[in-house]
Amino acid sequence: MEMKTLRLAGVVRESIVDGPGIRMTIFSQGCPHHCKGCHNPETHDQNGGYISHPENILNAIDQNPLLQGVTFSGGEPFVQAEAFAKLGEEIKKRGLHIATYSGYTFEEILSNIEKGKNGWKELLSVTDLLIDGRFILEERSLNLLFRGSKNQRLIDVKKSLEKGEAVLWDPEEDSGVLRYKK
């Protein structure tokens, strides 16, 4: 299968702060939100960063038996929704959990899916945990799990799609998140 290249700001091979368990975090390049106080302002420029082949990322994932998941962060992964969706499909085949950070809310993502935005439905579908909403500096807190401001939500995507509205993720109920690769 031919996958599109990705424009990335960087990759952290092992992280415990970007989602549950030990995970690889992939930082997309390009973000339309430009949130005041953004943790990664160097990711905003659509032409910055570097081009990466998904096969390189998958090889790195395959070399680390401790990984429990992969996080798509940013920048804004939905700017490159098709490419991240294809990468996500390959990651799911490996039995790994996917978390996606987005400045768009769950409701905005659904609206863009209805408008026919390429790859948005597929990227949301491979995502297990969505951390949604723009970072708001005035609501910043260092005491929040996996997010930077109080408006951002941890959304269980599968339950939300079944219910047709955002369902908050409960780490106590989600026994499948911390499973190891088979």
The H or E element that residue 23 is part of is strand 23-28
The H or E element that residue 13 is part of is strand 6-15
Q: Give first-to-last CA distance, the chain, whole Å.
A: 23
Q: What per-residue confidence (pLDDT) applies to 175?
A: 54
Radius of gyration over alpha carbons of the chain, in Å? 15
Q: What per-residue confidence (pLDDT) applies to 3?
A: 82
**Residue 92 to residue 164: CA distance in whole angstroms:** 23
Q: What per-residue confidence (pLDDT) applies to 180?
A: 39
Regarding pTM above 0.85, the answer is yes
Q: What is the DSSP string of 33-82?
A: ---TT-S-GGG--TT-SEEE-HHHHHHHHHT-TT--EEEEESS-GGGGHH
Structure tokens at 140: 């910043």
Looking at domain 6-163, which of 3.20.20.70, 3.40.50.300, 1.10.10.10, 1.10.3720.10 is its CATH number?
3.20.20.70
pLDDT in tens, the chain (182 residues): 468 999 999 999 999 999 999 999 999 999 999 999 998 999 999 999 999 999 999 999 999 999 999 999 999 999 999 999 999 999 999 999 999 999 999 999 999 999 999 999 999 999 999 999 999 999 999 999 999 999 999 999 999 999 999 999 988 876 555 543 43
Q: What per-residue confidence (pLDDT) applies to 172?
A: 80
Q: What per-residue confidence (pLDDT) applies to 171?
A: 84
**Residue 69 to residue 82: CA distance in whole angstroms:** 20
Query: Which residue has tokens 């969706």?
Result: 85
For the chain, domain boundaries: 6-163
Q: What per-residue confidence (pLDDT) applies to 104?
A: 98
- DSSP reduced 3-state for 128: coil
